[in-house]
Amino acid sequence: MPKNISWRKLVKNFRKLGFNGPCGGGRHMFMKKGSLKLHIPNKHEGDISVGLVVEILQQAGIDKNKWDNI
């Protein structure tokens, strides 16, 4: 099960999964893998909540078990 995670660790894990970025966007940054454009929260103090991590994983089509084993 995913857990709260720092912004830096979130980006690092997505890079391990083949995503590029983060790139600047309008309100939020995003990471890309092929034609998939995945919006991520802006860098801020504190960790990203488990609920938001789960939502991002669902949008990316990444299984929670795969995320836990990175």
For the chain, what percent of residues have pLDDT higher than 90? Answer: 60
CATH 3.30.920.30 applies to domain 7-68: yes
The pLDDT confidence band at residue 68, using thresholds 50, 70 and 90, is: confident
Token pair for 30: 């995003």
Are 63 and 1 in contact by the 8 Å Cβ rule? The answer is no
Q: Which pTM was predicted?
A: 0.86
* Alpha carbons 12 and 29: distance in angstroms, whole number: 14
